[in-house]
Structure 1
Amino acid sequence: MSNPIYLAVDLPRLDAAVALGQKVKGHVGGLKLGLEFFCAHGHHGVHEMAKIGLPIFMDLKLHDIPNTVAAAMQSIHVLQPAIVTIHAAGGRAMMEDAKAAAGESCKVVAVTVLTSLDDADLARVGVAGSSHDQVLRLTDLAQEAGLDGIVCSGHEVGEVHRRWKNGYFVVPGLRPAEGKGAALGDQKRAVTPRAARDAGASCLVIGRPISRAEDPVAAARAIEATL
Protein backbone atom coordinates (compact mmCIF):
# COMPACT_ATOMS: atom_id res chain seq x y z
CA MET A 1 0.00 0.00 0.00
CA SER A 2 1.39 3.40 -0.96
CA ASN A 3 1.94 6.01 1.70
CA PRO A 4 -1.25 8.15 1.97
CA ILE A 5 0.50 11.12 3.64
CA TYR A 6 0.81 14.28 1.57
CA LEU A 7 3.00 16.87 3.25
CA ALA A 8 1.48 20.35 3.13
CA VAL A 9 4.49 22.49 2.24
CA ASP A 10 3.53 25.75 3.93
CA LEU A 11 6.94 27.42 3.95
CA PRO A 12 7.30 30.83 2.26
CA ARG A 13 10.85 30.30 0.91
CA LEU A 14 11.33 27.95 -2.01
CA ASP A 15 14.76 26.76 -0.91
CA ALA A 16 13.40 25.85 2.52
CA ALA A 17 10.44 24.06 0.93
CA VAL A 18 12.70 22.00 -1.33
CA ALA A 19 14.99 21.16 1.58
CA LEU A 20 12.03 20.02 3.71
CA GLY A 21 10.67 17.87 0.92
CA GLN A 22 14.05 16.25 0.39
CA LYS A 23 14.38 15.49 4.10
CA VAL A 24 11.07 13.73 4.56
CA LYS A 25 10.51 12.19 1.12
CA GLY A 26 11.13 8.69 2.47
CA HIS A 27 8.24 9.01 4.93
CA VAL A 28 5.51 10.76 2.89
CA GLY A 29 3.69 9.79 -0.27
CA GLY A 30 3.42 13.21 -1.91
CA LEU A 31 3.73 16.97 -1.58
CA LYS A 32 0.78 19.36 -1.31
CA LEU A 33 1.39 22.85 -2.65
CA GLY A 34 -1.25 25.37 -1.69
CA LEU A 35 -2.40 28.72 -3.00
CA GLU A 36 0.19 30.65 -0.99
CA PHE A 37 3.01 28.57 -2.46
CA PHE A 38 1.70 28.86 -6.03
CA CYS A 39 1.18 32.62 -5.82
CA ALA A 40 4.71 33.07 -4.47
CA HIS A 41 6.59 30.66 -6.72
CA GLY A 42 4.36 29.85 -9.69
CA HIS A 43 5.20 27.19 -12.25
CA HIS A 44 8.90 27.40 -11.42
CA GLY A 45 8.27 26.48 -7.80
CA VAL A 46 6.12 23.50 -8.75
CA HIS A 47 8.80 22.27 -11.17
CA GLU A 48 11.45 22.54 -8.44
CA MET A 49 9.33 20.59 -5.97
CA ALA A 50 8.56 17.95 -8.59
CA LYS A 51 12.29 17.24 -8.90
CA ILE A 52 12.09 15.65 -5.44
CA GLY A 53 10.34 12.77 -7.16
CA LEU A 54 7.03 12.66 -5.30
CA PRO A 55 3.50 13.21 -6.69
CA ILE A 56 2.37 16.84 -6.56
CA PHE A 57 -0.99 17.86 -5.12
CA MET A 58 -1.95 21.39 -6.23
CA ASP A 59 -4.37 22.64 -3.61
CA LEU A 60 -5.61 25.70 -5.49
CA LYS A 61 -9.30 25.48 -4.49
CA LEU A 62 -10.43 26.95 -7.81
CA HIS A 63 -13.82 28.67 -7.62
CA ASP A 64 -15.09 30.82 -10.49
CA ILE A 65 -17.37 30.60 -13.49
CA PRO A 66 -17.06 27.29 -15.39
CA ASN A 67 -15.12 28.69 -18.33
CA THR A 68 -12.53 30.38 -16.12
CA VAL A 69 -11.96 27.30 -13.99
CA ALA A 70 -11.62 25.11 -17.09
CA ALA A 71 -9.04 27.52 -18.54
CA ALA A 72 -7.12 27.50 -15.26
CA MET A 73 -7.08 23.69 -15.27
CA GLN A 74 -5.73 23.67 -18.81
CA SER A 75 -2.99 26.14 -17.89
CA ILE A 76 -1.53 23.75 -15.31
CA HIS A 77 -1.45 20.66 -17.56
CA VAL A 78 2.28 21.15 -18.10
CA LEU A 79 2.87 20.77 -14.35
CA GLN A 80 1.37 17.27 -14.39
CA PRO A 81 -0.27 17.45 -10.95
CA ALA A 82 -1.54 14.22 -9.43
CA ILE A 83 -4.39 16.01 -7.62
CA VAL A 84 -6.03 19.43 -8.00
CA THR A 85 -8.73 20.92 -5.77
CA ILE A 86 -11.73 22.99 -6.76
CA HIS A 87 -14.63 24.25 -4.60
CA ALA A 88 -17.82 22.17 -4.73
CA ALA A 89 -19.73 25.37 -3.97
CA GLY A 90 -18.94 26.48 -7.53
CA GLY A 91 -21.75 24.23 -8.71
CA ARG A 92 -22.18 21.19 -10.92
CA ALA A 93 -21.39 22.89 -14.25
CA MET A 94 -18.14 24.30 -12.90
CA MET A 95 -17.12 20.91 -11.54
CA GLU A 96 -17.98 19.14 -14.79
CA ASP A 97 -15.93 21.61 -16.84
CA ALA A 98 -12.99 21.38 -14.44
CA LYS A 99 -12.91 17.61 -14.73
CA ALA A 100 -13.22 17.72 -18.51
CA ALA A 101 -10.28 20.15 -18.72
CA ALA A 102 -8.00 18.22 -16.38
CA GLY A 103 -5.19 15.94 -17.50
CA GLU A 104 -6.00 12.24 -17.84
CA SER A 105 -3.88 11.24 -14.85
CA CYS A 106 -5.02 14.12 -12.63
CA LYS A 107 -7.58 13.56 -9.87
CA VAL A 108 -9.96 16.49 -9.47
CA VAL A 109 -11.41 16.67 -5.97
CA ALA A 110 -13.91 19.15 -4.59
CA VAL A 111 -13.56 20.98 -1.30
CA THR A 112 -16.81 20.62 0.65
CA VAL A 113 -16.50 22.53 3.94
CA LEU A 114 -13.16 23.95 5.04
CA THR A 115 -11.86 22.39 8.24
CA SER A 116 -11.44 25.89 9.69
CA LEU A 117 -15.24 26.32 9.67
CA ASP A 118 -17.81 25.03 12.13
CA ASP A 119 -21.61 25.18 12.21
CA ALA A 120 -21.68 28.74 13.55
CA ASP A 121 -19.39 29.95 10.76
CA LEU A 122 -21.62 28.34 8.12
CA ALA A 123 -24.72 29.92 9.63
CA ARG A 124 -23.12 33.35 9.35
CA VAL A 125 -22.71 32.91 5.58
CA GLY A 126 -26.26 31.65 5.12
CA VAL A 127 -25.75 27.88 5.02
CA ALA A 128 -28.61 26.10 6.73
CA GLY A 129 -28.02 22.95 8.76
CA SER A 130 -24.83 21.48 10.14
CA SER A 131 -21.40 21.27 8.57
CA HIS A 132 -21.97 17.51 8.35
CA ASP A 133 -25.15 18.01 6.30
CA GLN A 134 -23.41 20.49 4.00
CA VAL A 135 -20.53 18.10 3.39
CA LEU A 136 -22.94 15.35 2.38
CA ARG A 137 -24.91 17.65 0.05
CA LEU A 138 -21.77 18.79 -1.73
CA THR A 139 -20.36 15.25 -1.83
CA ASP A 140 -23.44 14.05 -3.71
CA LEU A 141 -23.15 16.98 -6.11
CA ALA A 142 -19.47 16.28 -6.77
CA GLN A 143 -20.22 12.63 -7.48
CA GLU A 144 -22.99 13.60 -9.89
CA ALA A 145 -20.55 15.95 -11.65
CA GLY A 146 -18.14 13.09 -12.31
CA LEU A 147 -15.30 14.19 -10.05
CA ASP A 148 -12.80 11.77 -8.56
CA GLY A 149 -13.57 12.63 -4.97
CA ILE A 150 -13.89 15.32 -2.35
CA VAL A 151 -12.08 17.04 0.52
CA CYS A 152 -13.70 16.81 3.94
CA SER A 153 -12.75 16.59 7.60
CA GLY A 154 -12.13 13.34 9.38
CA HIS A 155 -15.47 13.76 11.12
CA GLU A 156 -17.37 13.26 7.85
CA VAL A 157 -15.14 10.91 5.87
CA GLY A 158 -16.71 7.75 7.27
CA GLU A 159 -20.20 8.68 6.13
CA VAL A 160 -18.88 9.99 2.80
CA HIS A 161 -17.06 6.72 2.19
CA ARG A 162 -20.25 4.75 2.80
CA ARG A 163 -22.11 6.90 0.25
CA TRP A 164 -19.37 6.86 -2.41
CA LYS A 165 -17.55 3.55 -2.28
CA ASN A 166 -14.99 4.22 -5.01
CA GLY A 167 -14.39 7.90 -4.30
CA TYR A 168 -11.03 9.47 -3.49
CA PHE A 169 -11.21 11.22 -0.13
CA VAL A 170 -8.74 13.88 0.97
CA VAL A 171 -8.71 14.70 4.68
CA PRO A 172 -6.79 17.80 5.87
CA GLY A 173 -6.60 19.37 9.30
CA LEU A 174 -5.07 16.27 10.87
CA ARG A 175 -3.26 16.35 14.18
CA PRO A 176 -1.29 13.64 16.04
CA ALA A 177 -2.84 12.28 19.23
CA GLU A 178 -0.18 13.93 21.40
CA GLY A 179 2.94 16.08 21.35
CA LYS A 180 3.65 19.56 20.03
CA GLY A 181 2.14 18.82 16.64
CA ALA A 182 -1.24 18.09 18.24
CA ALA A 183 -2.12 21.80 18.67
CA LEU A 184 -5.23 22.62 16.65
CA GLY A 185 -4.25 26.13 15.56
CA ASP A 186 -6.96 27.38 13.16
CA GLN A 187 -8.44 23.92 12.64
CA LYS A 188 -11.83 23.36 14.25
CA ARG A 189 -12.72 19.84 13.06
CA ALA A 190 -9.48 17.88 13.34
CA VAL A 191 -8.90 14.17 13.98
CA THR A 192 -5.80 11.96 14.13
CA PRO A 193 -4.27 10.56 10.92
CA ARG A 194 -5.02 6.98 11.98
CA ALA A 195 -8.67 7.76 12.77
CA ALA A 196 -9.11 9.38 9.35
CA ARG A 197 -7.44 6.47 7.57
CA ASP A 198 -9.55 3.91 9.41
CA ALA A 199 -12.71 5.81 8.46
CA GLY A 200 -11.90 5.64 4.75
CA ALA A 201 -9.55 8.54 3.92
CA SER A 202 -7.51 8.02 0.74
CA CYS A 203 -5.14 10.96 1.22
CA LEU A 204 -3.99 12.43 4.55
CA VAL A 205 -2.85 16.05 4.33
CA ILE A 206 -0.46 16.92 7.15
CA GLY A 207 1.42 20.19 7.41
CA ARG A 208 2.50 21.91 10.60
CA PRO A 209 2.89 18.77 12.73
CA ILE A 210 5.73 17.84 10.35
CA SER A 211 6.91 21.07 8.75
CA ARG A 212 7.21 22.97 12.03
CA ALA A 213 8.51 20.11 14.16
CA GLU A 214 11.98 20.38 15.67
CA ASP A 215 12.83 17.20 13.76
CA PRO A 216 10.56 16.92 10.68
CA VAL A 217 11.94 13.52 9.70
CA ALA A 218 11.22 12.06 13.14
CA ALA A 219 7.75 13.63 13.14
CA ALA A 220 6.93 12.24 9.69
CA ARG A 221 8.27 8.83 10.64
CA ALA A 222 6.24 8.77 13.85
CA ILE A 223 3.01 9.62 12.01
CA GLU A 224 3.77 7.08 9.30
CA ALA A 225 4.25 4.41 11.97
CA THR A 226 0.70 4.95 13.29
CA LEU A 227 -0.77 4.00 9.93
Structure 2
Amino acid sequence: MDKPFFLALDFRTGEDVKQFIEKNDFYGVPVKVGMELFYREGVSIISWLKEHQHPIFLDLKLHDIPTTVEKAMYNLAGLGVDIVNVHASGGSEMIRAAKRGLESGAIQQSTKLIAVTVLTSMDQQTLENELYINQKLDEAVARLAELTKKSGADGVVCSAHEAGMIKEVCGEDFLTVTPGIRLAESNANDQKRIATPSFAKQNGADYLVIGRSITQAENPKRNYLRVLEEWNNA
Protein backbone atom coordinates (compact mmCIF):
# COMPACT_ATOMS: atom_id res chain seq x y z
CA MET A 1 0.00 0.00 0.00
CA ASP A 2 1.58 3.24 -1.14
CA LYS A 3 -0.24 5.65 1.20
CA PRO A 4 0.71 5.73 4.87
CA PHE A 5 -2.67 6.24 6.50
CA PHE A 6 -6.24 5.02 6.68
CA LEU A 7 -9.00 7.59 6.44
CA ALA A 8 -11.55 6.78 9.16
CA LEU A 9 -15.01 6.65 7.61
CA ASP A 10 -16.87 7.44 10.81
CA PHE A 11 -20.15 8.22 9.10
CA ARG A 12 -23.63 7.07 10.01
CA THR A 13 -24.65 5.62 6.63
CA GLY A 14 -23.16 4.23 3.46
CA GLU A 15 -24.76 7.01 1.48
CA ASP A 16 -22.91 9.56 3.63
CA VAL A 17 -19.67 7.75 2.83
CA LYS A 18 -20.31 7.64 -0.91
CA GLN A 19 -21.21 11.34 -1.04
CA PHE A 20 -18.11 12.30 0.96
CA ILE A 21 -15.76 10.23 -1.21
CA GLU A 22 -17.29 11.50 -4.45
CA LYS A 23 -17.36 15.15 -3.37
CA ASN A 24 -13.70 15.13 -2.33
CA ASP A 25 -12.39 12.72 -5.00
CA PHE A 26 -11.12 10.25 -2.43
CA TYR A 27 -11.68 7.19 -4.61
CA GLY A 28 -9.03 4.54 -3.97
CA VAL A 29 -7.57 5.94 -0.75
CA PRO A 30 -7.03 3.51 2.16
CA VAL A 31 -9.98 3.64 4.57
CA LYS A 32 -10.98 2.42 8.01
CA VAL A 33 -14.47 1.01 8.48
CA GLY A 34 -15.54 0.88 12.12
CA MET A 35 -18.48 -0.37 14.12
CA GLU A 36 -20.85 2.54 13.45
CA LEU A 37 -20.74 2.09 9.68
CA PHE A 38 -20.37 -1.70 9.48
CA TYR A 39 -23.18 -2.45 11.92
CA ARG A 40 -25.57 -0.43 9.77
CA GLU A 41 -24.39 -1.29 6.25
CA GLY A 42 -22.67 -4.64 6.71
CA VAL A 43 -20.97 -6.39 3.81
CA SER A 44 -22.48 -4.06 1.23
CA ILE A 45 -20.24 -1.12 2.18
CA ILE A 46 -17.15 -3.34 2.09
CA SER A 47 -18.11 -4.56 -1.38
CA TRP A 48 -18.64 -0.99 -2.62
CA LEU A 49 -15.29 0.16 -1.25
CA LYS A 50 -13.49 -2.81 -2.80
CA GLU A 51 -15.15 -2.09 -6.16
CA HIS A 52 -13.63 1.39 -5.96
CA GLN A 53 -10.14 0.05 -5.14
CA HIS A 54 -9.96 1.13 -1.49
CA PRO A 55 -7.56 -0.77 0.80
CA ILE A 56 -9.63 -1.47 3.93
CA PHE A 57 -8.89 -1.71 7.64
CA LEU A 58 -11.98 -3.33 9.18
CA ASP A 59 -11.90 -2.05 12.74
CA LEU A 60 -14.35 -4.18 14.75
CA LYS A 61 -12.10 -4.99 17.73
CA LEU A 62 -13.39 -8.51 18.35
CA HIS A 63 -13.30 -9.53 22.01
CA ASP A 64 -15.08 -12.72 23.10
CA ILE A 65 -14.39 -16.34 23.94
CA PRO A 66 -11.89 -17.96 21.54
CA THR A 67 -14.40 -20.17 19.73
CA THR A 68 -16.73 -17.27 18.98
CA VAL A 69 -13.88 -15.07 17.77
CA GLU A 70 -12.50 -17.83 15.55
CA LYS A 71 -15.86 -18.38 13.86
CA ALA A 72 -16.48 -14.65 13.48
CA MET A 73 -13.03 -14.13 12.00
CA TYR A 74 -13.61 -16.98 9.55
CA ASN A 75 -16.63 -15.08 8.21
CA LEU A 76 -14.83 -11.73 8.14
CA ALA A 77 -11.89 -13.31 6.32
CA GLY A 78 -14.11 -13.92 3.31
CA LEU A 79 -14.48 -10.16 2.81
CA GLY A 80 -10.89 -9.90 1.63
CA VAL A 81 -10.01 -6.74 3.55
CA ASP A 82 -6.42 -5.73 4.25
CA ILE A 83 -6.42 -5.52 8.06
CA VAL A 84 -8.74 -6.81 10.80
CA ASN A 85 -8.36 -6.53 14.55
CA VAL A 86 -9.15 -7.89 18.00
CA HIS A 87 -8.56 -6.67 21.55
CA ALA A 88 -5.22 -7.91 22.90
CA SER A 89 -6.78 -8.05 26.37
CA GLY A 90 -8.80 -11.03 25.14
CA GLY A 91 -5.66 -13.08 25.76
CA SER A 92 -3.33 -15.32 23.82
CA GLU A 93 -5.80 -18.15 23.23
CA MET A 94 -8.31 -15.73 21.70
CA ILE A 95 -5.68 -14.08 19.48
CA ARG A 96 -4.48 -17.45 18.22
CA ALA A 97 -8.09 -18.47 17.55
CA ALA A 98 -8.62 -15.26 15.58
CA LYS A 99 -5.56 -16.05 13.49
CA ARG A 100 -6.81 -19.58 12.79
CA GLY A 101 -10.19 -18.28 11.71
CA LEU A 102 -8.61 -15.66 9.50
CA GLU A 103 -6.30 -18.15 7.80
CA SER A 104 -8.95 -20.84 7.29
CA GLY A 105 -11.51 -18.43 5.87
CA ALA A 106 -9.19 -16.22 3.85
CA ILE A 107 -9.72 -15.49 0.19
CA GLN A 108 -6.42 -13.61 0.20
CA GLN A 109 -3.46 -14.49 2.40
CA SER A 110 -2.32 -10.89 2.76
CA THR A 111 -4.97 -9.93 5.34
CA LYS A 112 -3.18 -8.81 8.51
CA LEU A 113 -4.37 -9.45 12.06
CA ILE A 114 -3.58 -6.76 14.59
CA ALA A 115 -4.62 -6.29 18.22
CA VAL A 116 -5.62 -3.21 20.18
CA THR A 117 -3.34 -2.59 23.15
CA VAL A 118 -4.80 0.30 25.19
CA LEU A 119 -7.38 2.54 23.52
CA THR A 120 -6.10 6.03 22.74
CA SER A 121 -9.13 7.43 24.58
CA MET A 122 -7.61 6.06 27.83
CA ASP A 123 -4.82 7.45 29.98
CA GLN A 124 -2.94 6.49 33.15
CA GLN A 125 -5.76 7.69 35.38
CA THR A 126 -8.26 5.48 33.56
CA LEU A 127 -6.07 2.42 33.99
CA GLU A 128 -5.57 2.98 37.71
CA ASN A 129 -8.90 4.40 38.87
CA GLU A 130 -11.36 2.55 36.64
CA LEU A 131 -9.66 -0.65 35.45
CA TYR A 132 -7.50 -1.13 38.58
CA ILE A 133 -4.41 -1.85 36.51
CA ASN A 134 -1.50 -0.85 38.72
CA GLN A 135 1.04 -0.59 35.95
CA LYS A 136 2.42 2.33 33.99
CA LEU A 137 0.52 2.82 30.77
CA ASP A 138 3.53 2.28 28.50
CA GLU A 139 4.39 -0.91 30.39
CA ALA A 140 0.84 -2.19 29.94
CA VAL A 141 1.03 -1.42 26.21
CA ALA A 142 4.40 -3.17 25.87
CA ARG A 143 3.12 -6.24 27.72
CA LEU A 144 0.07 -6.50 25.45
CA ALA A 145 2.20 -5.97 22.34
CA GLU A 146 4.55 -8.81 23.37
CA LEU A 147 1.55 -11.04 24.05
CA THR A 148 0.14 -10.20 20.63
CA LYS A 149 3.36 -11.06 18.83
CA LYS A 150 3.82 -14.33 20.72
CA SER A 151 0.24 -15.25 19.80
CA GLY A 152 0.96 -14.98 16.07
CA ALA A 153 -0.62 -11.67 15.12
CA ASP A 154 1.04 -9.20 12.76
CA GLY A 155 0.98 -6.03 14.83
CA VAL A 156 -0.94 -3.77 17.16
CA VAL A 157 -3.07 -0.68 17.37
CA CYS A 158 -1.33 1.74 19.70
CA SER A 159 -0.73 5.41 20.33
CA ALA A 160 1.97 7.04 18.23
CA HIS A 161 3.70 7.80 21.53
CA GLU A 162 4.23 4.06 22.07
CA ALA A 163 5.11 2.97 18.53
CA GLY A 164 8.87 3.36 18.93
CA MET A 165 8.89 1.42 22.19
CA ILE A 166 6.88 -1.38 20.58
CA LYS A 167 9.36 -1.59 17.71
CA GLU A 168 12.16 -2.01 20.26
CA VAL A 169 10.26 -4.74 22.10
CA CYS A 170 8.75 -6.61 19.15
CA GLY A 171 11.00 -5.80 16.19
CA GLU A 172 10.83 -3.55 13.14
CA ASP A 173 8.62 -5.93 11.16
CA PHE A 174 5.87 -5.84 13.79
CA LEU A 175 3.20 -3.43 12.54
CA THR A 176 2.20 -0.34 14.51
CA VAL A 177 -1.10 1.23 13.47
CA THR A 178 -1.70 4.51 15.26
CA PRO A 179 -5.07 6.26 15.70
CA GLY A 180 -5.51 9.55 17.56
CA ILE A 181 -3.74 11.45 14.77
CA ARG A 182 -4.51 15.15 14.54
CA LEU A 183 -3.20 18.10 12.59
CA ALA A 184 -1.68 20.63 14.99
CA GLU A 185 -4.70 22.94 15.12
CA SER A 186 -7.35 20.19 15.30
CA ASN A 187 -9.53 19.47 18.32
CA ALA A 188 -8.56 16.41 20.39
CA ASN A 189 -12.26 15.45 20.80
CA ASP A 190 -12.51 12.25 22.88
CA GLN A 191 -8.91 11.18 22.31
CA LYS A 192 -6.26 11.64 25.01
CA ARG A 193 -3.01 10.22 23.60
CA ILE A 194 -2.95 12.18 20.33
CA ALA A 195 -0.08 13.01 17.97
CA THR A 196 0.65 14.81 14.71
CA PRO A 197 1.51 12.87 11.52
CA SER A 198 5.15 13.98 11.63
CA PHE A 199 5.57 12.88 15.26
CA ALA A 200 3.97 9.52 14.49
CA LYS A 201 6.36 8.81 11.63
CA GLN A 202 9.41 9.92 13.61
CA ASN A 203 8.38 7.64 16.47
CA GLY A 204 8.02 4.47 14.37
CA ALA A 205 4.39 4.32 13.22
CA ASP A 206 3.81 2.20 10.11
CA TYR A 207 0.27 3.41 9.42
CA LEU A 208 -1.82 6.27 10.75
CA VAL A 209 -5.57 6.33 11.27
CA ILE A 210 -6.99 9.81 10.86
CA GLY A 211 -10.61 10.86 10.68
CA ARG A 212 -12.04 14.06 12.06
CA SER A 213 -9.09 16.28 11.10
CA ILE A 214 -10.12 15.47 7.53
CA THR A 215 -13.77 14.41 7.56
CA GLN A 216 -14.91 17.41 9.64
CA ALA A 217 -12.64 19.96 7.97
CA GLU A 218 -13.95 22.82 5.83
CA ASN A 219 -11.68 21.56 3.07
CA PRO A 220 -11.13 17.80 3.54
CA LYS A 221 -8.95 17.35 0.44
CA ARG A 222 -6.59 20.13 1.53
CA ASN A 223 -6.17 18.56 4.97
CA TYR A 224 -5.66 15.12 3.42
CA LEU A 225 -2.81 16.50 1.32
CA ARG A 226 -1.39 18.25 4.40
CA VAL A 227 -1.22 14.93 6.25
CA LEU A 228 0.63 13.35 3.32
CA GLU A 229 3.01 16.30 3.17
CA GLU A 230 3.71 16.15 6.91
CA TRP A 231 4.39 12.43 6.70
CA ASN A 232 6.67 12.73 3.67
CA ASN A 233 8.65 15.62 5.15
CA ALA A 234 9.02 14.18 8.65
Query: How many angstroms apart in 2 are the aligned matches of 1:111 and 1:30?
Result: 19
Query: How many angstroms apart in 2 are the aligned matches of 1:145 and 1:168?
Result: 14
Deviation of the 1:24 alpha carbon: 4.7
Deviations 1:157-189, CA, capped at 9 Å, x for gaps? 1111122221011000111122xxx11000000
Unaligned runs of 5+ in 1: none
Q: Percent same amino acid at aligned positions? A: 37
Deviation of the 1:146 alpha carbon: 0.9
Question: Does the 8 Å CA contact 1:31/1:54 hold for their aligned counterparts?
Answer: yes
Question: Does the 8 Å CA contact 1:153/1:171 hold for their aligned counterparts?
Answer: yes
Query: How many angstroms apart in 2 are the aligned matches of 1:133 and 1:127?
Result: 11
Query: How many angstroms apart in 2 are the aligned matches of 1:141 and 1:161?
Result: 14
5 Å-filtered alignment, 1:1-227, equals 2-22=2-22, 23-25=24-26, 29-102=29-102, 103=106, 104-123=109-128, 124-164=130-170, 165-178=172-185, 182-227=186-231
Partner-residue secondary structure (3-state), 1:156? helix
Deviation of the 1:29 alpha carbon: 4.4
Deviation of the 1:83 alpha carbon: 0.2
Deviation of the 1:74 alpha carbon: 0.8
Question: Does the 8 Å CA contact 1:25/1:52 hold for their aligned counterparts?
Answer: no
Aligned residues: 223
Question: Does the 8 Å CA contact 1:55/1:82 hold for their aligned counterparts?
Answer: yes
1:225 maps to amino acid: E
* CA root-mean-square deviation: 1.4
- The TM-score with structure 1 as length reference comes to 0.94
Query: How many angstroms apart in 2 are the aligned matches of 1:119 and 1:21?
Result: 37
1:58 maps to amino acid: L
Query: How many angstroms apart in 2 are the aligned matches of 1:184 and 1:175?
Result: 7
Q: RCO greater where, 1 or 2, for CA within 8 Å and sep 6 or more?
A: 1
